[in-house]
Structure 1
């Protein structure tokens, strides 16, 4: 007998890092080992590595894509691959190259870059690192780059003048001696004490330590860091020169690459920030002879991010485009492929069971997921292989869910730092649903209202209050009404999908052996006239709930 344990090749409850965070390096090996190189990703990487190996006319990469497209994951994987560090006995770049099985040239280009070029990667989310400044500061991007570059060297980037002081000690070959002397004088390591540098005792310890390592009078170094603070200046050219010095100190064929996540969200049509990013990338290219790349992610492609190009001189816009010449726009086409391979891949026992099930139920399935003719049309399963790959999900759910998330995000439904995209990736939502499902019966299917549960934790309170109240009051006596409400919430702003009774009924199908007559009647009884227009406007705009109860939905007003 097939069970959830032996239906899937890998344990669906295993930990999968479904939310890609630039600063999370706890599962580096697993991330690279399980990364799925889709056909789309393979094509994008082929273009990138041609430019990267040539070290020619550009050093900028723009990776764009919306929720679930994998842009942050690709950025992170590239940072690991190019650095080629060793984990679990494997060099990550070489491990990744072995995953390329259908493009011999790309595989060769990756291996060639690893042989010829040594590199270090600085990977960061620019919004997280920007606590040192504000987005309204025209030099915000430069300040963040200074910070992460200083941090990369072990300096205190949060206070750039402290980092500059440390940098000067390194140039004078005094840093290690200073740290030893400071700990002897103050009784605490410098790297722990430096955050409290304003304390008089720490200032005195700095003066005494500097006096020892420079063989000078301590009075010369009194309030030394405050002097650094008053004199410290930052510029794009100065930054590029510092990076150049760092690269040159590491010998030939070395590169220092910056991987910047969510730069589009940070810039958000601030033209001056965009121009500063372009100038920064261009100056790095010039001063470092192409040996420092800037690779960024954005929900918007480059043209849309700049916004009204009348605000940008045409030559400036051309420079921006020219600097970020390598474009990697990711679409939703590869999302289902990633989910199928990382989460839904079936076991040797599961494949024949599901294949036989599809052949028996093929005509029934075609009838079950037949939408009405109005609005956008979604495809069904291509064949038994498609059924096996996607089960227990339905083909339309991959694209419809992503389109719904896009529409909801544009209407400010998500909360906090995730208000633009929601917290979970699509892989995370699908895994959440799979964990909660009872798959002891292979006739079970995922219904679209279950998608709501995957994003519920990231919704604004006012957006989900009505559904929570409905669930508390009617969840036991009229669960279909609550399920309908969740579906209508999901599709509310996606205008291409028509919320007809037939379409809602299809979205709520949760098993192959469902009685369509009974199911359709239950859905229709949960849909009062114009429910789609009236109820959802109340839910989302006024936080009222209005729907039927028992055979006909009673009117319930909740303020």
Structure 2
């Protein structure tokens, strides 16, 4: 049986009409309809394709009549997105083909999809039928909305440009379309060309003929077309929606109802192209379409990326609520269904052949990551004539040589697999596609993208022309090239290498007999090609050699030889490599005890044992420095108390390690020193050298792993650590060394020290219960050690922390802080900052280091503490339990402040003496508490007297100020009062009893009251006299009462009422408002006020009266006087001719 006989469709007779490329849109010719029929028949409605159709259609049916969310179909380039949405569009409206078949009849849909399509048809029958539009938004389109409308208009059979489309829709609405179109046809003109040039074509004449009066003339008709249907650069969103609705109503098969509409926008992501503005416009457009049209229009868009993968696309997530993601598995399913599907009756025979050749299949690519596995069995028949391992090889090759992002594309794989089927179609069953077939299929593409150098291509092509032997040489070279393109980094490494075994495996085509033959011939061919310098051999691998590659290889060999001849370089590179490897293995830190206190671990490669400090030292020695017995003796000679850890790296495969280091150093030097090439050949040579470097790096890593696997870890004193691997051995040794270094750590190892601190600063005497201690504070091991460490002159917090955080203690800082806080609270220690006491409640973690701690030397009985507490309470000092010492320090400051407040500058007495407090100021802690107790009566007396004086001081100062102000207003004759006030000032008698200032205030007030009353009487008498004269004035008498009151108020001519003068404060307010001396001036001004008032009255009485002011002059004789009078007389007579009266 031949291979072609097992396929459902003979690959030699079958072709792929669309070459694997699906395009949305309506077919325009017979070939296009044939392609569509093929796409519908070949569509594999399984997996993500079926789920995607179901999800999109179900969402539409469920949301019909409300807001309709859009759908986003994503998948890598060529995953079948366009094929899926094209099939969706034709299934939507169940397109009928020329032979009467329909889309839903040609596509084999699963039952869920069939059911939801039926529901869609029922929904359409209730509305305006089914309609769809599909297209690709042009990446260069200036307007998102115009590009969108272009697809809608085109699907409706309208011009894709908006202006002519509007014109056609207007003609249809007016009932003129057929008439105008027939007119254009009768003129022998093409309708589409006329529309394209409608501003200058005969269209205006045809419309005018169909609708007379529409314009005055043909020229005016063309102008009317231009004005009514202008070509816009853009269109508003609202106008876009109106236009879409207009089209939908025209496409509806029921008047007054909209159709169930689908709009497919292929390659939407490419259209947006990371443009946030364009994405925003798409978002608004989709939102408007989703919320409009009675929920009957759905938009489906495609893109390579899921919406969550880019910042720009993320803005569209809310609009495209329905998301479909295609994957590699879907591509595999399509390939198996479309081009690899087998006839059911041929499957048993195929299975029998494959089972018989299982040995050959299973030995393929032994040791590689993509080698055959148990899971391959279920794919052997579906993938035949491709072996699963070989398919995986192809997939990795395609991704590696891909420069256009098309590695996994369905269209590419469909074509490649189809062509592979044709190659082996006439061969007997059991003949599979050799791996080098992919080279022939992709060589042209690789040449075009620069992956395949022309020199390499000519080399492979040239060998093929040399007969049968050349054919094998060419295939071997092709496979060496393909393998060289595979990644060797991390998880991407397939494990496939250009070795004799893997090359022979990949060349096997006839499973029954080609394997042994090729495994015998391939090594010979490889050696020949190596001898001819066409291949470079590195260990067991082969690499293609170009002329440029040979130059790089020569440089590499020279540098390698130089490295191997220099023992110093070898030693340095080896030590550096081991140091890097050990850095990754040696733990940087370990957690100690239940408190998980961090301990650092430091590694040393020195020839001298490292110094033991606060870190755990790890001393690494190698077999290149000393023998294993010397190492054992060295480790055994160490103290069993020392935390030092010895590590021995044995000398394993020294020459192989040196060779690998030489390869690595030579490759790195070659890459670093040679200039970056600018030719394809040079780039390929550099890439080959990079591969050499990577292989050397892997070999070095392998040798180092072997050494580390056989390494020895010994505790100081000779105790060897037995663990499965070096990492765990070092961890165990580090933990044991930590215990050696910090012998007393267990005393302070507890998780409750933070709680002890919190309780201590809150004043809780039982704070140590948080670390399970209920005895006296000083008896806890931590507190006991801290007390012992505090010197007679005191010790700083920093010194205490340094001591107890270092070996042999190594306590957590929380333990040291909490121990200090508990001791201060228990008055076992005093804490000070800059000489000032700090209570337990005042302690701050970040300030402990700056404090000085002193031990208490004097005990204070309870009775003394109680008596001192009473003094403190009377002195209004707030007090916390067990903080009498700190409160006493505040008491001293309070007494000093009270003394200052009890006196002051004259007239106050001097502040009282605080000399009796001087002996107390140098004391602290319990000594200060005892001293306060001894002076408690003196302190009580001082507090009472000074507080009373301070209170009296405020009132007396106010009265003294009042007396000063009163005395300042006294007439000069009252010198006695002034002298009395000055005596109080000079003799500082303000606080004496009885009050010396009170009588002065009374006397001064009485004197001022008498003087003020006298002045008021004089003033009122002057005003009364003036008013009497005013009453006799003719002008005044004729004024009414209101006018008189107004003039009196304006000129302030009225008696003054006597102000309140009953108290000294009222007298002071009166004289400060108007001093005594000002009354004389006011009395003297009454006559002047009367004159101004009379003048004002005259003006009111005689409104035309004219005031004459006699001019000033100096007159020296009787003649001058007479002349002056005559001049004034003439002036007055002249003015009388103009005015009824004069005022002089």
Q: What do residues 308-343 of structure 1 show as CA deviations (whole Å, max 9, x unaligned)?
A: x3xx6xxx945x112111111110112222211221
Residue number among 43, 51, 54 corresponding to 1:46 in the alignment:
54
1:215: how far off?
A: 1.1
CA contact (8 A) 1:58 1:323 kept: no
| Alpha-carbon distance between aligned partners in 2 of 1:541 and 1:290, rounded to the nearest angstrom | 59
Query: Residues 167, 506 of structure 1: CA spacing in aligned structure 2 closer, same or farther, 3 A cutoff?
Result: farther
Alignment of 1:352-371 (within 5 A): 352-371=348-367
| 3-state SS, counterpart of residue 180 of structure 1 | helix
Aligned to 1:447: 434
Q: Deviations over 1:418-454 (max 9, x none)?
A: x798794321221122223354232322233322333
* Alignment partners' CA distance in 2, 1:423 and 1:33: 17
CA 1:193–1:378: 2 relative to 1, 3 Å: farther
Q: Distance in 1 between matches of 2:70 and 2:83?
A: 18
TM-score w.r.t. length of structure 1: 0.80
Q: CA deviation at 1:84?
A: 0.7
What does 1:478-493 correspond to in 2, within 5 Å?
Answer: 478-488=473-483, 491=486
Matched residues in 2 for 1:541 and 1:301: separation?
A: 37
Q: Report deviation, 1:15.
A: 2.6
Contact kept, 8 Å, 2:164 with 2:196, in 1: the verdict is: no
The answer to whether the 8 A contact 1:492-1:536 is kept is: no
Deviation at 1:367, TM superposition (A): 0.8
Q: Deviations over 1:227-254 (max 9, x none)?
A: 4335675123222222223324413462
Question: How far is the alpha carbon of 1:359 from its aligned partner?
Answer: 1.5
Aligned length: 510
Change (3 A) 1:182 1:380: same
Report the equivalent of 2:153.
Answer: 150
1:204 and 1:384, CA in 2 relative to 1: closer, same or farther beyond 3 A? closer
What's the counterpart of residue 553 of structure 1? Answer: none
Shift of 1:5: 3.9
Aligned to 1:124: 135
Query: Structure 1's 505 and 321: CA in aligned 2 closer, same or farther, altered over 3 A?
Result: farther
Counterpart residue number, 1:544: 681
Q: Distance in 2 between matches of 1:193 and 1:489?
A: 60
Say if 1:291 and 1:422 are closer, same or farther in 2 by CA, change over 3 A: same
Q: CA deviation digits over 1:500-553, x for unaligned, max 9?
A: 225555444433232253365268546524666987998x97322889xxxxxx
Equivalent of residue 501 in structure 1, options 498, 502, 505: 498
1:351–1:388: 8 Å Cα contact kept in structure 2?
yes
Q: For each residue in 1:19-38, what CA deviation from the matched residue of structure 2 results, as whole angstroms up to 9, or x when unmatched? A: 21224542323322221122
Q: Aligned equivalents of 1:205 and 1:393: distance in 2?
A: 64
Q: Does 1:191 align with 2:201?
A: no
Moved more, 503-512 or 295-304: 503-512
Query: Paired residue for 1:281?
Result: 286
Contact 2:480/2:543, CA 8 A, preserved across alignment: no
Does residue 113 (structure 1) correspond to residue 120 (structure 2)? The answer is yes
Q: Is 2:90 aligned against 1:90?
A: no
Q: 1:383 to 1:397 in 2, by over 3 A?
A: closer
In 1, distance between residues paired with 2:155 and 2:145?
A: 15
Between the two structures, name the one with larger relative contact order (CA 8 Å, sep ≥ 6): 1
Higher alpha-carbon deviation: 527-536 or 421-430: 527-536
Residue 356 of structure 1: how far off its partner (Å): 0.9
The answer on 1:30 being equivalent to 2:38 is yes
* Residue-by-residue CA offset, 1:339-360 (whole Å, 9 max, x unaligned): 1122112224531221111121
What are the superposed Cα offsets for residues 45-94 of structure 1, whole Å, 9 maximum, x if unpaired?
33223212112554311111114422221111111111112233333235
1:444 and 1:510 in contact (8 A); partners too = yes
Equivalents in 2 of 1:433, 1:90: separation in Å?
32
1:387 matched to which residue of 2?
380
SS of 2:294's partner is coil
CA shift, 1:260, in A, is 1.9
The aligned counterpart of 2:903 is none
Match of 2:370 among 356, 371, 377: 377
Counterpart Cα distance in 2 of 1:422 and 1:221: 54
Whole-Å separation in 2 of the counterparts to 1:146 and 1:537: 56
Q: 1:248 to 1:472 in 2, by over 3 A?
A: same
Residue 501 of structure 1 aligns to a residue whose secondary structure is coil
The 1:339/1:167 distance shift into structure 2, 3 A limit, reads same
Secondary structure of the 2:331 match is: helix
Per the alignment, do residues 143 and 432 of structure 1 end up closer, same or farther by CA in structure 2, a change over 3 Å counting? farther
- C-alpha RMSD over aligned residues: 3.4
Most deviating of 490-499 and 442-451: 490-499
Shift of 1:281: 1.3
Moved more, 142-151 or 521-530: 521-530
Uncovered stretches (5+) of structure 2, i.e. residues with no partner: 530-534, 550-676, 686-1144
2:190 & 2:151 partners in 1: Cα distance?
A: 22
Q: What's the secondary structure of 2:681's corresponding residue?
A: coil
1:425 equivalenced with 2:412 (yes/no): yes
2:464 paired residue among 475, 488, 493: 475
Question: Which of 202, 205, 219 is the equivalent residue of 1:208?
Answer: 205
Q: Provide the residue aligned with 1:241 in structure 2.
A: 242
Partner deviation per Cα, 1:434-489 (whole Å, 9 max, x = no partner):
22335423232223332233344545264445253223322233313442255247
Query: Partner residue of 2:221?
Result: 221
**1:260 match: secondary structure:** strand
- Written as runs of structure 1 = structure 2, the 5 A alignment for 1:233-312 is 233-249=234-250, 250=252, 251=254, 252=257, 254-304=259-309, 307=310, 309=311
Q: Decide whether the 8 Å contact of 1:183 with 1:190 is kept in 2.
A: yes
Counterpart of 1:551? none
Separation in 2 of the partners of 1:32 and 1:429? 21
Runs of 4+ off more than 6 Å: 419-423, 533-538
